[in-house]
Each structure stands twice: as structure tokens, then as C-alpha cells.
Amino acid sequence: MKRLPFSCALIPLVVLCLLASALGQSPRRVIIDTDPGVDDAMAILLALNSPELKVEALTVVPGNVDGKQGLENALKLVSLAGRCDVVVAGGAQHPLNQKLITAQYWHGKNGLAGVELPATKCKADPRFGPDLIIELVHKYPHEITLIPVGPLTNIALAVSKDPSIVPLVKDIVIMGGSITGGNVNGAAEANIYNDPEAASIVFNAGWMVTMVGSDVGERTIITRKYLADLQSVHGPESDFVVQLADFYITRSEKSGYSGAAMYDPLAVGVVVDPAVVTLKDMHVDVETKGEFTRGETVANRMGSDENNVLHGDHYEIDGVVELKPNARVCLASDADRFLKLFISRIKGK
Ligand SMILES: [Ca+2]
């Protein structure tokens, strides 16, 4: 019998590459930094099934679950997708300057809606996530798009250790922050709240951060209508996403919503199809102190601050100080366009 020229495990990758070349462009190299997580799992499966992307690595950060559980979940996800070729590495085990806050309350006891996936066939890479990010950015200068969809601890560690990666990164698209109130409390979104110091480092690193905030994710919801479409054709990945989405939608319905926010998948969606969102350049600061606002992304929509100058016993406004934008802030999404993309990529897989 003739030997196949490559292992069967590589066939899905080859098919994806062929699809991408048929589209007339080589796929974008991405690293997904993740705390999986129900919506992380959906984001990862979207990325792995999108020919526009070549997932170079998953790096795991603690957030929704601790680092150990997150690594196990990430390995089970790539195994489910038959993609042991994707490097999966652990990273930081705690935020830079505060205790870890995990979110089994929202994501189920194992972070994956309590669904027990088969044991992974894939192995963790021994490299430390932030070091792997540094290595891959230097290996593929100006080609890597970072997609952090958890707290920004690993990215902050990478840019702090080697700031030279900043101009070599093609793009950084984060799920995090909000310009219209938080989802943890009145001010803060969870990924920023869970490591505000790391977020501050990332926003001030010198690159333009594309910010896909919770406020836009909450207007991009998967409802039972889309779930029914996903259920119409079966496969191991789509059946799993149906279980996740059902758990997630049920959870959201109890809170009075008609569906579940596609936070992390939307960030991947923006890289696959930038037309799913509307962006505006702004200067964004991360509040690391405030009594009520620690972890808030404070976005300046005017591009300037008043310049207040002391005159005797009072200040007078003396024009404005222009601010350089550091973020492309997502203002709105075409939710139906994104959800159709998501469903079409997962359906029947
Ligand atoms: Ca996440």
C-alpha cells in the first residue's frame, strides 16, 4: 500500500490552506491568548475553522478558570478539532498585582459549561506562553495578529520582557473593556478588571489596540434561532458548540436577555471579517485606582483634554491638549453578519 505523504491529522490544515489560497490570499497568522471559557471555546473553534486564519498558538492565561484548568480545556479543544498541530502553551498563573478571580459561576464548573470532552490527544508545549509569543513574533515579523480574549497578563509579560515585539506585531485585537459601562460592575469589563495593571501596560505599549468591548459583545448575541440552525447538521465540534450555546443562552435568559453575548468569538470575527464591526480611533486609559472604577477603560472620544493652567487661586482653561489615539474602539457590530459567519464555520463540523 502506498504511504500517504502526510499524516491524516494534517489533512484539515491542508484543506484550510487550500481554501485560503483559493480566496487569493495567504491566511493571517494569529496567536489566541485565552482563558477557556465557554465563549473562548467558541472563539477558538471559529478560528480553527476559518481559512482566513492560521492559528500559530494558543497561550493560556488564568481568568474564567485557573491556569491548570485552562490549559486542560485548551488541549481538549484542539484535540476535538483534530488539530494537535496547533501549539498550546501555559502562561502566567496569576494576575500581575491582585488575586485571581475565576468565573465558574458563568462558565460552569470546568469552564466549559460542565461538558466533559474526551481526553486530549494533544500535548502541551513546554514553553512559557509570554516567551512563546515573543519567539513567534520574531519568527514572523509584521505577520502575527495577537487575539487576547482573557485578562492581559500574558501579553503584558511579553511586551515588558521584550518591548521590541511591539512594532513587529501586525495587529492586536482584544476582547476587553467597554466605553459604556462594565459587565462586572458599573464600570469595569471582566478581562480588564481581572488584571488592570496588565491592561494598562498593553494599552500603553505603543501599538494600536483594536478593542472589542463587552458593550458591543452584548449587542452581538446568539439566540435560539441561530442555535436551531447550528443543530440542523451534526458533527463533534458543532454538537459541542450547541451544548455550550444552550448552557450560555439559558444562563443569559435567567438574567433577562434573549440570547448570549458573543464576546470572544466577535474578536476572532473581527480578524476574519473586519466588516462585522465599526471602529473609531480613540485614546483609551485604564483606571488602576478608582474607588468605583478600577479596571474601567476610559475612552476619550474627543481626542483631547482641556489644558487647565493655574492663575492665582484658580485654574483657567487654556486650550486643549491633543491626545494620540492608542486604540481602535469597536462602536457597533453587524450582529447578523457575524452570527451567520460563526454558524456557517461551525455547522456540521
Ligand atoms: Ca475569555
Residue with cell 476582547: 175
17-29 per-position pLDDT tens digit: 555 555 557 999 9
Ligand 1 centre and the CA of 85: distance in Å?
A: 22
Q: What is the DSSP letter of 347?
A: T
Q: Which residues contact 3 (CB under 8 A, 6 or more apart)?
A: none
Q: What is the pLDDT of residue 31?
A: 99
Give the pLDDT confidence of 107-166 residue by residue, as tens digits: 999 999 999 999 999 999 999 999 999 999 999 999 999 999 999 999 999 999 999 999
Does residue 192 have a pLDDT over 60? yes
CB 232 within 8 A of CB 11: no
3-state secondary structure of 175: strand
**Whole-prediction pTM:** 0.93
**Which residues have C-beta within 8 Å of that of residue 57, sequence separation ≥ 6?**
31, 32, 86, 87, 88, 89, 125, 132, 133, 136
Which residues line ion ligand 1, judged by CB < 5 Å? 35, 37, 40, 149-150, 264
pLDDT band per the 50, 70, 90 thresholds, residue 246: very high
Q: What is residue 194's predicted lDDT score, i.e. its pLDDT? A: 98
Does residue 10 have a pLDDT over 70?
no
What is the pLDDT of the chain when averaged over all its residues? 94
Cα of 324 vs centre of ligand 1, distance in Å, is 28
Percentage of residues in the chain having pLDDT higher than 90:
92
Give the distance (Å) from ligand 1 centre to CA of residue 319. 41
Q: What are the DSSP calls for 213-237, one per residue?
A: -HHHHTTSEE-HHHHHHHHTS--HH
Ligand 1 centroid – CA 295 distance (Å): 16
User: Ligand 1 mean position to 225 CA, how many Å?
Assistant: 24
